[in-house]
Amino acid sequence: MDISQDLRIRLGLDGVTYRANLSKTELFHAAIASDRGRTREGGGDDDQKAFPTALGEDGPLVYYTDPTCTGRPVQDTFGVAWPELEEKVWWKADFQKYDPEQYEGLLARVVAHLNGRGATLFVEDVYCGTDPSYAVPYRFVGEYATHALFAHNMFPKGIEGVEDEDGKRWVMLNAPSFRCDPDRDGSRSERVVILDFRNRIVLVAGRADYSGVVKKSMFTVMNYMLPEMGNMSMHCSANVGQRGDGAILFGLSGTGKTTLSADPARKLIGDDEHAWTELGVSNLEDGCYAKLIDLDKQAEPIIAAALSMPGTIIENVPPLPGRPMGETDPADLDLTDRSITENTRFSYPLTCNPDVAEGAKGPHPETIVLLTADAFGVLPPVSVLDSREVMYHFIQGFTAKLAGTEVGITEPKAAFSSCFGAPFMSHQPSVYARLLAEKMEAHETRCILLNTGWGGGPYGVGSRISIGDTRALLDAALSGELHAQGAEYDIHPVFNLKMPRACTGVDPAILNPRNTWEDKEAYDTQAVALREMFRVNFEEKGFGALGIEPVM
């Protein structure tokens, strides 16, 4: 079925013009010429949204979102509460129910709006998933060429062997020019992101033009669909070693998920979203969406080089004072400038990385790493976990926000995000925890909890565990050293965690965190306080009722 016929039947679009599956160069020029909307507080809806740099089409596209949408609009993200989904979906503050009748009326009004204005819509046909056994055809349809270019960067194209493509295809209808009316439409504000699992539609309407919506909406879809197939969907990075040993690294922002997976001795499978199936681990994407704020161009040469590559997208990095973007070399941009947002971003193809695993796929993992950055300074640098502990720490998804990173945070603050990606998890957390435990048992996968946070005291007193020590601990886990027969351990008296007594290349004095604190009583007090935070979160979330054993 051709595109216009499909979208007429599925959505009712019949008064629009399509520009479908353009090249990156064509999308680059179309974005500059036609993407218009608000880019500054108090600005109009006809501001230019996308700009070239001094490199022209041989360099990146620079794009600016609406100032109220410099990150995912979590409070405006919903799922249609069809009756068959009421008990299956994990409804929560950042994924709320949307009334089916109000949704159908809103969708019809958005379509009528686009038909009435004779909109030009950019279409990009891609897939979510690199493995044809589960890959979902994904058709982006939207008003901004920038978003089509983003889909081109971030998702694979031309996956062969996918059966019944028309029957499986998801469509995103993305209409930034529409304004929702909460009284009429049942929305919370003038914008919505709504997932319709019954009809395989994602509706994005209003000022929700952050590019991550195009990516994370489909990750939420895959987090619903993959477990339904018996597969594990994961918010993680993944790589494979020279002897074919796979590894996956779970972790929230700031814990080292991307940095630690970029290992010159290992091939990268991906840095963010993956599936674990009967065939092994495979990337859901074909690109990277990296944070740019405070990027050290010398320490991150891959991203720094990709900043100047054609077809990539730089999002919300301000122009240099007094210099038009069209006269600016992208390598000169000030990546410390947070005047627009802390969440400056950059979209580039996976192939910008120098050593990517063939097909962005790898074997069943030998090692799973749960990453945390404990700013309280009390968790061990590394702990060896059994299957019960894996489920507990996976479902808790702990890290700590630092003082100064958010307004009002003056000391470390615990952050718990189930499965290390709660906002995107469509099923209850126990569904993913059980799948993880089953697959680990079937493939004899080992697991560690790796703390990339602080020792010798909390943030502001102690120091961050060195990247050298973290790398050595990770290498020991990947080689099997930490799980080897004869390895000796101490049991932490508060957290009940198994701490190795030795690790190649690491001073054994740091392996028990209490040893690194000058004030031992202060350590004990802080350790008990953090354990209580874990216990409170466990009780408040009702994890015990989901069959998770409290091990701490």
Task: Supply the residues annotated as catalytic.
Answer: 72, 216, 235, 253, 257-258, 272, 345
CB under 8 Å to 282, separation ≥6 — which residues? 129, 130, 131, 269, 274, 275, 359, 360, 361, 362
H or E element at residue 199: none
User: Would you call 548 helix, strand, or coil by DSSP?
Assistant: coil
Q: Which two tokens stand for residue 102?
A: 């109000």
How far, in Å, CA of 23 to CA of 38, rounded? Answer: 26
User: Would you call 133 helix, strand, or coil by DSSP?
Assistant: coil
Sequence letter at residue 401:
K
Q: Are the C-beta atoms of 222 and 129 separated by less than 8 Å?
A: yes
Q: Measured on CA atoms in the order 301, 303, 304, 310, is the torsion positive or negative? A: positive
How far, in Å, CA of 169 to CA of 165, rounded? Answer: 6
How far, in Å, CA of 331 to CA of 195, rounded? Answer: 38
Of 443, 393, 401, nearest to 419 by C-alpha is 393
How far, in Å, CA of 248 to CA of 271, rounded? Answer: 9
At which residue do the structure tokens 């055809």 appear? Answer: 137
CA triplet 331, 316, 44: central angle to 5 degrees?
A: 135
Measured N-to-C along each axis, helices 429-442 and 212-228 cross at an angle, to the nearest 10 degrees, of 60
Question: Which of 62-73 are b and which e, b meaning 16 or more Cβ less than 10 Å from the residue's Cβ?
Answer: bbbbbbbbbebb
How far, in Å, CA of 344 to CA of 211, rounded? Answer: 11
SS (H, E, C) 287-318: EEEEECCCCCCCCCHHHHHHCCCCCCEEECCC
The pairing of strands 273-277 and 232-241 is antiparallel
At which residue do the structure tokens 């796929």 appear? Answer: 361
Q: Which two tokens stand for residue 46?
A: 């006809």
The pairing of strands 246-250 and 365-372 is parallel
How far, in Å, CA of 480 to CA of 157, rounded? Answer: 37
Q: Are the C-beta atoms of 276 and 231 separated by less than 8 Å?
A: yes
